[in-house]
Chain A
Amino acid sequence: MRRSLTVLLLACAALLGAVAPAQAHNVLIGSDPEDGASIASGPERITLTFDQPARQGFAQITLTGPDGTRWEEGKTAVDGAKVSVGVRPLGPAGEYVVGYRILSSDGHPVSGKVAFTLTAAGPGSAQPAAAASASAVPAASGAPAQDPARDPAENPGLSAQAAEAAQNGGAGMAVVWIAAALVLLGGATVVAMRRTRERTEAP
Chain B
Amino acid sequence: MTAVAERAPEAVAVRRLLTGGLVSGALLAVVVATALGAEEAVPGIELPGPVVAYGLPVLRVLLDLAAVAVVGLSLLPKLLGFDEPERTEPVMRRARPMAVSFAWAWALLALTVIVFQTAELNPGSVPTPGMIAEYVDNVGAGQGMLFSAACALAYAGIGLLAVRFGEKVPAELRILVALFGLLPIPVTGHAVDSVWHDPIMISMELHVMGSAAWTGGLLTVMLLVARDRGLLAEVLPRFSRLASLALAVVTLSGLVNGLATIALTPGTALPGSLLTSEYGLLVVAKTVSVALLVPLAAHIRFRLLPRVERQEATAVAAWAAAELTVMGLAYGVAVALTTATIS
Contact = CB atoms under 8 A, between A and B. Distances in A.
A145 B42 CA distance: 25
B341 to A, nearest CB: 7
A195 B187 CA distance: 39
B42 A174 contact: no
B183 A106 contact: no
A66 to B, nearest CB: 11
Interface in A69-128: 70, 72, 97, 99-101, 103, 105-113
Given A21-B187, A111-B47, A188-B160, A27 B42 contact: no
Contacts of A188: 157, 160
A60 B111 CA distance: 27
A112 B140 CA distance: 23
Nearest to A113: B42
Nearest to A188: B160
A172 interface: yes
Nearest to B43: A64
A145 B157 CA distance: 36
A69 B163 CA distance: 64
A116 to B, nearest CB: 13
Contact of A175 (B129, B144, B192): B129
A110 B341 contact: yes
Size class of the B contact interface (CB-based, 8 Å) = 35 or more
Interface in B122-158: 122, 124-125, 129, 131-134, 136-144, 146, 149-150, 153, 156-157
Contact of B153 (A55, A56, A105, A185): A185
Given A22-B187, A23-B193, A171 B136 contact: yes
B343 to A, nearest CB: 5
Contacts of A148: 138
A185 B157 contact: yes
B191 to A, nearest CB: 4
Contacts of A192: 97, 100, 160, 163-164
Given A15-B183, A52-B193, A106-B191, A25 B342 contact: yes
Give the interface centre of A24, A70, A133, A148 by most chain B CB atoms within 10 Å: A24
Interface string B179-223: 110011011111111000110011001000100000000000000
A97 B43 contact: yes
Given A6-B172, A170-B137, A27 B267 contact: yes
Size class of the A contact interface (CB-based, 8 Å) = 35 or more
A21 B143 CA distance: 10
A10 B176 contact: yes
Interface string A168-201: 0011101100100110010011001101100010
B13 interface: no
Nearest to B268: A27
Contacts of A62: 43-45
A174 B136 contact: yes
Nearest to B96: A196
Contacts of B265: 24-25, 27
Contacts of B179: 7, 11
Given A60-B45, A63-B44, A64-B43, A145 B134 contact: yes
B10 interface: no
A57 interface: yes
B153 to A, nearest CB: 6
Interface string A132-170: 010011000100110110000000001001100100001
B272 interface: no
B46 A137 contact: yes
A19 interface: yes
Contacts of A136: 44
A65 B265 CA distance: 32
Interface string B29-46: 000000000011011111
Nearest to B209: A11
B202 A182 contact: no
A171 B132 contact: yes
Interface in B224-283: 265-267
B42 A100 contact: yes
Contact of B183 (A14, A171, A175): A14
8 contacts: A15-B183, A15-B202, A97-B44, A99-B42, A99-B43, A108-B141, A141-B122, A162-B138
Given A19-B202, A22-B189, A193-B97, 7 more contacts: A4-B172, A22-B201, A25-B192, A56-B138, A113-B42, A162-B138, A170-B137
Leading 8 A-B pairs by shortest Cβ distance: A62-B44, A171-B133, A107-B141, A99-B42, A24-B193, A19-B201, A22-B191, A64-B43
